[in-house]
A = this chain, B = another copy of it.
């Protein structure tokens, strides 16, 4: 909004690559390249240097981006207050979130907004947490629901985003129905230390949670298989290939041959689900209302759980 090139530069500073920046912003790679070059020309400073087959920010560039973060924040604040003052409708509103969040939290939010604000076009994008942050920077979306983690965004995150905690989502174990502990109401992770585990591949947020859950116990689990989708993981478990961890928010679906059990014991691993916005964009009426709705939805989920807890 303030200057499209700023968004491009900020995404680049996050991804470190022209190609990824192009993919995230929706521009072509040559457009990103040209934008950065043009930006350097008008500023009269070198922002990027060639490094290997890629390109990276110069120290002057990093310094400039850091200053830009403050300016963009102030701009967001101003734009939000302007939108707030005049009761004008906002044309577009983009939401992002990872799979379970999208299903459980964003879908109700989108439905609600569609009902109360028919003139606003709400767009949903499902994406991994890090990607959600980059989409926020790229101004493709205005609000994201992601799993909190230290790695996401790095140190620049606090200059660029604001977080609101929605809920803590505990992890459950998923066992084959034939597992020796399948009949227990709850299971301690220590008792599964020697079982073959199924986790997610790559260095996803889930994977980080997975290892964190065990390192706090001083246990190194044996990861026998890796899956990308939970659907797949659950199928593996159903086939008796091992055991797995599944966030409470994720549904088992119509999976056969598996049971979901609470985790007992000292360590109760959970993931923290937060809503993230660009810094300064709070105060915009749509953002404020959305956060409100999200928190109410989260509260409903929590109270529903306590009810189940009492039932069980």
Contact = CB atoms under 8 A, between A and B. Distances in A.
Interface in A59-83: 60, 63-64, 67-68, 70-71, 74-75, 77-79, 81-83
Contacts of A67: 74, 77-78, 81-82
Number of copies: 2
B3 A43 contact: no
B86 A75 contact: no
Contact of A44 (B2, B60, B81, B86): B86
Nearest to A46: B86
Interface stretch (A10-18, A88-96, A121-129): A88-96
For A43, A70, A86, A91, which residue has the most chain B Cβ atoms within 10 angstroms? A86
A266 interface: no
Interface string A2-25: 110000000000000000000000
B71 A75 contact: yes
B78 A45 contact: no
A85 B79 CA distance: 30
A86 B70 contact: no
A88 B44 contact: yes
27 contacts: A1-B42, A2-B2, A2-B3, A2-B71, A44-B83, A44-B86, A44-B88, A44-B89, A44-B90, A44-B91, A45-B82, A45-B86, A45-B88, A46-B86, A46-B88, A60-B82, A60-B85, A63-B81, A63-B82, A63-B85, A67-B74, A67-B77, A67-B82, A70-B74, A71-B75, A71-B78, A74-B74
